[in-house]
Structure 1
Amino acid sequence: MYHSISINKKSTTILAFTISTVLLLSACSQKEQQKGQTQNEQAKPVNYKTAPLKVINPEYEISVPAELKPFEQVAVYAKVTGFVKQMYVDRGDRVRKGQLLAVLEAPEMQQQYLSDKSTEQKVYSDYLYAKQAYDRLVTASKTTGAVADIELDRAKSAMESAKSAFDASKAGTAHSSQLQKYLRLTAPFDGIITQRNVSVGALAGTGGNTPLFMMAQSNKLRLTLSLPEKHASSVYDGMSASFTVSSQPGKNFDAKLSRTSGLLDQQDRSLTLEFDVNNISGELQGGDYAQVKLKLKRKKPSSWVQSKSVLNTQSGTYVLTLNNNEVKRIAVKEGVRLDTLTEVFGNLSPEDKIILKPSEEIKEGKINSQKK
């Protein structure tokens, strides 16, 4: 009986060993097969179509909205308080610089001027008397012992005080005279009256918030626009522009750059451009909205790729380069677009070759390129 049990245990051991050996050999065979497949896949040649990076400096055109504004525009207020005595212009009238627009009436100002003038004459007489007294003492002092030094000094001090009083009185008279001139309102520049807000008899002055007139310069206009940040470096002196206005469809107008804000606006990250527009014929109106076409050019060449070569992913924007059978993913920032080309900024060199149809499945590293 012991002999039978021993034989059975031995057979079981041999069977288990055999099964383990078979499983081990099978696993090794599968690993070798997978390894061979991987090597075959790695050895499989791939071919990506590429195009050379272009470093060029083309002129490109953009269209942006703008506004036509009067070159100068002002609200005409009364600097002194008074009643409107006479109005000489109305809405729509064209005026010349210095032309009389209105006259105010303030009788108390005339009385103040007459009072200041009278005071000035009296103080002037006092000054003349003090000066004569001093001159006489100076003449008398030439005789030894005739005039004490203290008397001469007192007379000189009185004369100087009278002179100071006269100067102050004269300034007060000039002030009253200047205020009277403010009763006459004149045009600050050549332009057109766009609003008339008061009538004869109305009280005008520093206490009111309503201007008597609104006027604007119409023979010269400002074309103002905001240029996006990415185009700001393409602005150059004397840059030309063409624009259209909705009130005259189909007609183009030309202008040249006159000035820029110099700094980007912190709110909308744009550069303000102004073009002076000659409008002597009166064909255009200040306040129109315009559509402007600008021809821009970078100050130096930049990198351009085919638009389809730009890979946009959740992690950023990239292009894939293929140099010496090695793929690299380069982070870029897009600039402007021109036909089928896109301007890109990144760590690129002029010798780079760009993969035309990139995808996120293309991994970085060495590849087995198919030789043609």
Structure 2
Amino acid sequence: MSPTISTYKITRLTLALALSIPLTACLQQENQVNKEAKKTEKRINHPTASVQFIHPEYEISIPAELKPYEQVAVFAKVSGFVKQLYVDRGDHVRKGQLLAVLEAPEMNQRYLSDKATEQKIYSDYLFAQQAYDRLKDASTTSGAVAAIELDRAKSNVESARASFEASKASTSHTSQLQQYLRITAPFDGVITERNVSIGALAGSSSNQSLFIIAQENKLRLTLSLPEKHAASVQQGVRANFTVSSQPGKIFETTLSRTSGLLAQHDRSLTLEFDVNNISGELQGGDYAQVKLMLKRKQPSTWVPKKSILTTQSGTFILILDNQEIKRIPIKEGIYLDTLTEVFGQVSADSQIILKPSEEIKEGIINK
């Protein structure tokens, strides 16, 4: 082999080695970068937000009904025929005003009979009293009257007095029944129904009322508040409401009373607001839409709405605690802008995963 050829081969080999060294280094560096990228891809990173403990006021809108403050069906307490009617539907009446008169001739005859019996028994009582007084005067003379005769006379007086008192009570009862033949208004109001005509039989044997009277100068605004808002009701809560018969007009009132207990059939709390209606703008029976400003008695837990996970098995939030994901069951409360009130085992330092999904599993991450 000639020197020239050998030198040429060595030169080529040296050049190849020189080129291969940086190439190998580049490949190793690229492999390291790829490994780091893959490791980064495997690392899980969930955006989180802190739990909020706040005590805000919030507004709700609830349907309600305006009712007369008082409304009664007026019945006749005794049986009789309607003799005279003095009012009709739509008439305004005052408390104690005469509405109708019934007639029952047999009741008048019974009163006259009881009154005559009372007078006879009273006469008997007076006679017994006089007889006793005479015997008592005579007994002052020794031996004139036997002691037993005096005792008998005294017993007769007491018996006659008792009979007189009973007869007087019976006459008073009959007289009172006669007063029931005059039907009067129990309070100021308006006649909303007149259900009888002159000559009709009314009284205990009939289930038909004579009139229905409703109070119109004062109304009750009644609504059913859902259970989740019941703990937010406080004394003095103000309400604004509207009625469909007067669009655009807003009325104000203040809470007067609550039922105190949740109704079993719909798990709601009944609220009542007294509404002054002296002007007569409103009418009982209207449906109203009420806006209430409520506030919890104590601060509660709030999380972003988008952090709540709803599944077939329930409602949850996902908490990231020391690189460990936990699924916490919750119950939703009220809503405020982008926040939702929640109830569950949530602590003040909990970090809520903002974008939960069913694919996110519980357990330690990023090991």
Q: Which TM-score tier does this pair reach, normalised by the shorter chain? A: 0.7 to 0.9
- Give the partner amino acid of 2:229: H
1:224-258 deviation line (CA, Å, top 9, x unaligned): 11111111111111111111111111111111111
4+ residue runs of structure 1 moved beyond 4 angstroms?
40-43
Distance 1:332 1:277 in 2: 39
* C-alpha separation in 1, matches of 2:198 and 2:312: 70
Q: What aligned pairs does 1:289-328 form with structure 2 within 5 A after superposition?
A: 289-328=287-326
1:39-54 equivalent positions in 2, closer than 5 A: 44-54=42-52
Per the alignment, residue 70 of structure 1 pairs with 68
Q: Match of 2:169?
A: 171
Shift of 1:41: 6.3
Distance across 2 between alignment mates of 1:146 and 1:312: 109
What is the TM-score normalised by the length of structure 1?
Answer: 0.86
- Tell me whether 1:263 sits opposite 2:261 in the alignment: yes
Structure 2 partner of 1:22: none
Structure 1 residues 167 and 41, CA gap change in structure 2 (3 angstroms): farther
> Matched residue of 1:299: which SS?
coil
Task: Kindly state the Cα deviation for residue 114 of structure 1 after the two structures are TM-superposed.
Answer: 1.2
The residue identity in structure 1 corresponding to 2:194 is R
Q: CA deviation at 1:306?
A: 0.1
Question: 1:42: Cα distance to partner?
Answer: 10
Distance 1:41 1:265 in 2: 59
Q: Which moved more, 1:193-202 or 1:335-344?
A: 193-202
1:42–1:360 Cα change, 3 Å: farther
- Whole-angstrom distance in 1 between the partners of 2:221 and 2:140: 77
Separation in structure 1 between the aligned mates of residue 40 and residue 343 of structure 2, nearest angstrom: 33
Kept in 2: contact 1:59–1:295 (CA 8 A): yes
Counterpart residue number, 1:228: 226
SS of structure 2 residue aligned to 1:97:
coil
Using the alignment, how far apart are the partners of 1:179 and 1:331 within structure 2? 68
Tell me, what secondary structure is at the counterpart of 1:332? Answer: strand
**Alignment gaps of 5+ in structure 2:** 1-34
1:340 to 338, 348, 353: 338
Instruction: Give, in whole Å, the separation in 1 of the partners of 2:91 and 2:138.
Output: 70
Q: Aligned residue for 1:13?
A: none
Aligned ranges 1:280-291 → 2 under 5 Å: 280-291=278-289
Partner of 1:197: 195
> Any stretches of 5+ residues in structure 1 without a counterpart?
1-36
Q: Please point out which of 201, 206, 209 is paired with 1:211.
A: 209
Distance (whole Å) between structure 2 residues aligned to residue 157 and residue 284 of structure 1: 68
What code does the residue aligned with 1:85 have? K
TM-score, normalised to structure 2's length?
A: 0.87
Range 304-313 or range 124-133, more displaced: 124-133
Q: Which residue of 1 aligns with 2:101?
A: 103
Report the alpha carbon displacement of residue 341 of structure 1 after superposing the two structures with TM: 0.5
Q: Name the % identity.
A: 73
* Secondary structure of the structure 2 residue equivalent to 1:207: coil
Q: CA RMSD in A?
A: 1.7
C-alpha contact (below 8 Å) 1:43/1:368 kept by paired residues:
no
**Hey, what's the Cα distance between the residues in 2 that align with 1:48 and 1:361?**
13
CA distance in 1, matches of 2:41, 2:92: 86
Instruction: Give 1:46 shift.
Output: 2.1
Alignment partners' CA distance in 2, 1:181 and 1:78: 11
Q: Secondary structure at the match of 2:236?
A: coil
Q: Which amino acid aligns with 1:69?
A: K
Instruction: Measure the CA separation in 1 of the matches of 2:348 and 2:146.
Output: 99
Q: Which moved more, 1:324-333 or 1:304-313?
A: 324-333
Q: Distance in 2 between matches of 1:142 and 1:259?
A: 73
